[in-house]
């Protein structure tokens, strides 16, 4: 079964310095039909204005991926384990909040909006040691294919996440296409970050998503400057 989640139906919060679209219930946006999908709990599409950012705040027992589409995101934390640094377009950072972490994130681009996806995945175990990992995945590595960017075993140069999930990213345009075998006992979630793309024949545009339950195949084609994330998830 394939169920579409359209961009226009997402939650929306405009704080002036932050424009955020919520694929799942988050903060003041609550929809009992969209509390998450399997162990995927949050996909927020955030745009931070110059000078804006998230002040110091806490997280616990969550695997958090920051996927930067445009601009740069400055990060700092209180643990001494995650370095202060910058996450730029093409970078992905994994923060394991574990038993608790305080951190802050700000737009590092003085004259441009920073556009990124904030993704939360529920961990396999609670109370682990907080930690960080960051990698760059070039456009060439994602062009016309689904590049592994996060997995529990950190294989093939992917980030290591402490969760029963696999995350892939790809860029598709024109005749470029890709397929993926799916385990029907698991769930798959496809989020179009930008552009347009067909997912198993369904036409999706930026911000749209497809929930796949019981499917055995994923096929992506018909891309128009598309960037897409594909999640293989535990139920």
We report the CATH number of the domain holding residue 186 as: 2.60.120.10
Q: How many separate domains does the chain show?
A: 1
Q: Rounded to two decimals, what is the model's pTM? A: 0.95
How far, CA to CA in Å, does 147 sit from each of 67, 170, 178?
Answer: 14, 6, 11
Least confident range of 68-82, 120-134, 162-176: 68-82
pLDDT for 41 equals 98
Mean pLDDT, residues 119-126 taken together: 97
Structural domain range at position 97: 2-233
Mean pLDDT, residues 144-156 taken together: 97
Of residues 109 and 21, more confidently modeled: 21
Nearest to 103 by CA among 63, 67, 56: 56
Mean pLDDT over each residue of the chain, to the nearest integer: 94
Length of the chain: 235
**20-56 confidence digits (pLDDT tens):** 999 999 999 999 999 999 999 999 999 999 988 887 7
Percent of the chain with pLDDT over 90: 85
133 has pLDDT over 90: yes
4 has pLDDT over 60: yes
> Can you list the alpha helix ranges (DSSP code H) found in 85-194?
139-142
pLDDT for 84 equals 58
Strand order in the sheet with 114-121: 11-14, 18-22, 40-48, 114-121, 63-70, 91-96, 131-136
Mean pLDDT, residues 205-214 taken together: 98
80 has pLDDT over 70: no
Give the confidence band of 188 by pLDDT, cuts at 50, 70, 90. very high
């Amino acid at each position: 079964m394939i169920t579409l989640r359209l961009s226009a139906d997402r939650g929306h919060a405009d704080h002036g310095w932050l424009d955020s679209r919520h694929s799942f219930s988050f903060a003041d946006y609550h929809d009992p039909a969209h509390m998450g999908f399997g162990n995927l709990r949050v996909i927020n599409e955030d745009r931070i204005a110059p000078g804006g950012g998230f002040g110091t705040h806490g997280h616990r027992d969550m695997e958090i991926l920051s996927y930067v589409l445009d601009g740069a995101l400055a990060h700092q934390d209180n643990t001494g384990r995650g370095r202060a640094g910058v996450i730029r377009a093409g970078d992905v950072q994994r923060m394991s909040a574990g038993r608790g972490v305080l951190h802050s994130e700000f737009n590092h681009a003085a004259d441009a909006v920073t556009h990124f996806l904030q993704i939360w995945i529920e961990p396999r175990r609670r109370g682990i040691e907080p930690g960080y990992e960051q990698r760059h995945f070039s456009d060439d590595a994602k062009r016309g294919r689904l590049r592994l960017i996060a997995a529990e075993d950190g294989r093939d140069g992917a980030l290591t996440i402490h969760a029963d999930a696999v995350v892939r990213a790809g860029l598709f345009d024109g005749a470029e296409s890709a397929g993926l075998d799916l385990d029907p006992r698991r769930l798959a979630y496809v989020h179009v970050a930008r552009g347009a793309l067909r997912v198993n024949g369904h036409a999706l545009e930026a911000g749209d998503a497809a929930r796949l339950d019981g499917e055995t195949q994923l096929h992506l084609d018909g891309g128009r400057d598309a960037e897409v994330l594909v999640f293989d998830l535990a139920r």
